[in-house]
Copies of this chain bind each other. A is one copy, B any other.
Amino acid sequence: MQNFELTILGCSSATPTSTRNPTAQLLNIAERFFLIDCGEGTQIQLRKFKLKFQRINAVFISHLHGDHYLGLLGLLSSMHLLGRTADLDLYCPAELEEIINLQFKHSQTYLKFKIIYHQHKYIHNDLIFEDKKVEVRTIVLNHRIPCCGFLFKEKPLLANISKDVILKYQIPLNQILAIKSGADFISLDGNLIPNSSLVNNKQEPRTYAYCSDTCYEERLIEYIKDVDLLYHEATFLNEMSARAKETFHTTALQAGTIALKAHVKKLMIGHYSARYKNLEPLLEEAQSVFKNTVLAVEGESTVV
């Protein structure tokens, strides 16, 4: 089975604490490395957890609050200083290009690699990345400034078909790829052999939805329905729901409610307010609505 693994690099909201860094995540799908948001200190976190940042193929920045992108300039500088020449795709708000260019202009930095900018259009379900193994679509979040979440999805995986099955039904070579992709087969004697009788490890493509930062927003549900893993911000406990609403954030209870209504398989909460030293109450609150909830913990990896 190919890799589909999420590593948390930062899980704090706006103000970092001495133990929690601002938002950043590294997602590995089939050896494509996607950096999702890049708060201050992300390059240091990558080093700390021994994750090679030159392997990052693409960076996805949700929005232009500092705790989601202020680590990017330093990371790009280090990539440059350590000899990167491979292109880097950057999916981000249009304004980030101006911010990056202004700073490299004044530091007189001329990158040895190319940044390919892909500006957010803020359209739901917009296909922004696609290759043989993965596709990425947008989820438009509802925050104080324009903000975009992301839905990462494996391409349908080819199933296995055994030699015995090929011999038994005398399957010609030119039909094997179709069967691995899900086709049925009509045998020489005219019988339809269903795909399920032919392949032995059919696996549904896995999905990961990243939703940070947003207020409680039921319009997201249709875009994250049934995902294997939902990361949803849970900045506050529900006793602070007024503050959450005012700042366009979500409570742990609300994150659990979204997960429940979207029938996701697993919920991970994060983006914790610095006021919570102990995160258990946030976890318990989300679990009171949606049992299969876990906390985002820096340095921990989750296989989706």
Q: Interface on A for B, CB 8 Å cutoff? A: 14-18, 21-22, 40-41, 43-44, 47-48, 64-67, 70-71, 73-74, 77-78, 81-82, 93, 95-96, 98-99, 102-103, 106-109, 144-145
**Chain B residues with CB below 8 A from A145, complex form:** 106-108
Which residue of B18, B65, B66, B95 is within 8 Å of A44 (Cβ)?
A: B18
Q: Which of A14, A64, A106, A145 has its CB near the most chain B CB atoms (within 10 A)?
A: A106
Task: Give 6 A-B contacts (CB < 8 Å), ordered by A residue.
Answer: A14-B78, A15-B78, A18-B48, A40-B41, A64-B103, A64-B106
**Chain B residues with CB below 8 A from A73, complex form:** 66, 70
Q: A21-B44, A41-B41, A102-B102 are in contact. List 11 more A-B contacts (CB 8 A).
A: A14-B77, A17-B47, A18-B44, A40-B71, A66-B77, A66-B103, A67-B74, A70-B70, A70-B73, A106-B145, A107-B145
Q: A40-B43, A47-B18 are in contact. Are A66 and B74 (CB under 8 A)?
A: yes
**Chain B residues with CB below 8 A from A144, complex form:** 108
CA distance A235 to B67 in the complex (A): 30
**Chain B residues with CB below 8 A from A64, complex form:** 103, 106-107
**Chain B residues with CB below 8 A from A107, complex form:** 64-66, 145
The chain B residue with its CB closest to the CB of A76 is: B66
Q: Which of A43, A70, A96 has its CB near the most chain B CB atoms (within 10 A)?
A: A70
**CB <8 Å contact, A98 and B102:** yes
CA distance A300 to B96 in the complex (A): 37
Least CB distance, A94 to chain B, in whole angstroms: 10
**Chain B residues with CB below 8 A from A81, complex form:** 14-15
**CB <8 Å contact, A106 and B102:** no
Q: A41-B44, A47-B16 are in contact. Are A99 and B108 (CB under 8 A)?
A: no
The chain B residue with its CB closest to the CB of A18 is: B47
